Amino acid sequence: MARLARHSALCTGRTSSPPGRSHIVTQPDTPDELEPRVRRIISRWGHDPGALVQVLREVQEAFGYLPAPVLTLVARLLRIPYSRAKGVASFYSFLSDEPLGAYRVLFSDNITDRMAGSESLLQAMCYRLWAEPGKVSQDGLVSVARTSCTGMCDQGPALLVNGRAVPSLTSERVERICDLILARTPLDAWPAGFFVVHDNVRRADILLGHTLQPGEAIGAALQRGAAGWSEHAANERSWREAYVGAAQGPIAILEEIKRSNLRGRGGAGFTTGVKWEACRQATGLTRYVVCNADEGEPGTFKDRVLLTSHADLVFEGMTVAAYAIGASLGFLYLRGEYRYLLEPLEAILQRRRAANLLGNGICGQPGFDFDIRIHVGAGSYVCGEESALIESLEGKRGVPRNRPPYPVTNGYRQQPTIVNNVETLCAAALIAVRGGDWYRSLGTLKSSGTKILSVAGDVARPGLYEYPFGVTLRQVLEDCGAADTQAIQISGPSGICVDATEFGRRIAFEDLPTAGAFTVFDASRDMFDVAHNYAQFFAHESCGFCTPCRVGTSMLVASMDKIRAGNGTQHDVGEIDRLNKVLLMSAHCGLGHTACNPILDTLKRFRPAYERKLRSLDFTPAFDLDGALHRARKMTGRDDADAHLEAQP
């Protein structure tokens, strides 16, 4: 405990800190102070074991990390087994049961960060701070490590320091950050400019260019129900029959969403109206609306902008959905990387409650009770999968459930639940105002409306581009100022990689469906490195539940490492094929199924990038017999032909 107290001297903070405040204060925590503070956090969460992830996240913000005695305390107060607290704490990458530096620096490790020089910046920082990547410095001051894409691809390289995002890194900025860390400057006193995140909206359409006022979409949704009612009432013989029409209020907006043919923007493209209707019709004690803002797909950052500049529209969409399905509670699952958005978002929720846009009797409609809670993730890509997300909401390890049953019938706490993407809910709010037919008139036959693309990589103007569905890749490349483009990764590592022969293809569910990532690689890039980075990503993010993904993704990385080191043979390419097949056939969830996509796609389209690295296109044994004699040759001072097993190629 002495170690904990010493360590926490620099990294403790008030959990009630005002927006934007860092979590570094100076007074130390003695073990005596520890328990009351943990008690306070837990009582704010109502002693609910279901809030375990939130409790652990806040306790870590207060104490710097989660040592075993603290986990025991949390477990005791929540009345759960110690092993459950330990199991959850060790699942999420931002939670740590090992001491961390007083300053915890995490470099975003997406391929776009690497292309912009993140690795040399990381090395420079480690050199300057006497730190080793992935380890805490000797004096406990700092730890420097890598983390999966932090959603700043349009302004990378980026890092997180004690959970706060610092984008647009240059060697000067990194140098300055090192100075601040060495001087033990609290984050609050760092230049505010370091934390400025730009929206970079380059092309706005109906969504990014909307002019809706808070309450407008909810009002329109209620109006649709009421309009249906008066029409209905005029045609009925009695009030009692007309009342059935009034109860149809939510049905009217549901019908509108169905008519719009809106499909999920998270990538899978499930029809939103069908999902909502299934949830509405499912039997349960209560229903839930969940907004999936766990934007973990490397290369995408649209939800960051929507939550920064259009949060009202997001909450509006959730409230419309709640009205349509009859939910009284909603969750915004905010990825841990966007922790800095928590206070501004809470402030907006508070304002909406004050304006009667949340709470009881929303907009004066009796019985329309709905509120929204924010759940901050703690670093886990797989939690973007809806059933894993629900597990995480319930305070568990984020492992995807067995399906069926699906969340629409057995979701949060086994009640009917809809999980929708941030962008989907924004679109639903627009549809509530302007109608399904209007929405359907945009885009293509099977893909109505618009799609926001997160464009990054080798382009002159990275940022958000919103287009009606059906736009060609060529058009996007032209608009963002891409030159000499070799390939585009559509929808991130779990999506598809296309080469120059395919730039006439279109963004649409009928051709190239996407969750939004649009990462551009010019001719100077080695597509093997791209696939290698993505393979590492999947291995890092595998939840480890099923055998094929837990072992297979790591085996894939091992094979890619071997090829990269110049020791690969045709046999290793065959091995990759074999692993891909196993993952596709038997992985438990989409992460495992898609983990091999980047490698399959690049092998298909850029095979020479692999073959250039192989030692031999024919079979060569993995063990280099002649190489093993190298030391013996050196010791005997020989290097003639007889000292070699065979002539070197």
State in angstroms the smallest separation of the CB of 549 from other proteins.
8
- Of the listed pieces 8-16, 211-219, 308-316, 553-561, which binds other proteins according to CB under 8 A? 553-561
State in angstroms the smallest separation of the CB of 69 from other proteins.
7
Binder among 30, 43, 83, 235 for other proteins (CB under 8 A): 83
Pairing of strands 103-108, 159-161: antiparallel
Is residue 250 within 8 Å of 225, Cβ to Cβ? yes
Is residue 615 within 8 Å of 568, Cβ to Cβ? yes
* Nearest CB to other proteins, comparing residues 504 and 574: 574
Binder among 552, 556, 597, 602 for other proteins (CB under 8 A): 552
Binder among 17, 37, 82, 474 for other proteins (CB under 8 A): 82
> If binding is defined by CB under 8 A, does position 394 make contact with other proteins?
no
Tell me how far apart the terminal alpha carbons of the chain are, to the nearest angstrom. Answer: 60
Distances (CA, A) of 330 to 69, 327, 419, 483: 34, 7, 10, 44
Binder among 21, 44, 86, 506 for other proteins (CB under 8 A): 86
* Nearest CB to other proteins, comparing residues 381 and 518: 381
The mark string for 568-607 relative to other proteins (x by CB under 8 A, - otherwise) is: ----------x--xx--xxxx-------------------
Q: Show Cβ contacts of residue 259 under 8 Å, excluding neighbours closer than 6 positions.
A: 273, 435, 436, 437, 440
> If binding is defined by CB under 8 A, does position 546 make contact with other proteins?
yes
Output the CA angle 130-1-146, nearest 5 degrees.
35
> If binding is defined by CB under 8 A, does position 518 make contact with other proteins?
no
State in angstroms the smallest separation of the CB of 241 from other proteins.
39
- Of the listed pieces 66-74, 113-121, 275-283, 448-456, which binds other proteins according to CB under 8 A? 66-74
Q: How many CB atoms lie within 10 A of CB 156?
A: 28
Is residue 530 within 8 Å of 113, Cβ to Cβ? no
- Of the listed pieces 50-58, 87-95, 110-118, 303-311, which binds other proteins according to CB under 8 A? 87-95
* Nearest CB to other proteins, comparing residues 363 and 582: 582
> If binding is defined by CB under 8 A, does position 544 make contact with other proteins?
yes
* Nearest CB to other proteins, comparing residues 51 and 85: 85
106: left (phi over 0), alpha (psi -120 to 50) or beta: beta
Binder among 373, 540, 615, 644 for other proteins (CB under 8 A): 540
Structure tokens at 376: 């901050």
Structure tokens at 35: 């328990």
Is residue 300 within 8 Å of 196, Cβ to Cβ? no
The CB-side HSE value for 553 (13 A sphere, CA atoms) comes to 28
State in angstroms the smallest separation of the CB of 74 from other proteins.
12
Binder among 11, 53, 71, 218 for other proteins (CB under 8 A): 71
Task: For residue 79, count CB atoms less than 10 angstroms from its CB and return exposed for 0-12, middle for 13-18, buried for 19 or more.
Answer: exposed
Residue ranges in contact with other proteins by CB under 8 A: 68-69, 71-72, 81-84, 86-87, 90-91, 380, 397, 402, 404, 539-548, 550-555, 558, 578, 581-582, 585-588
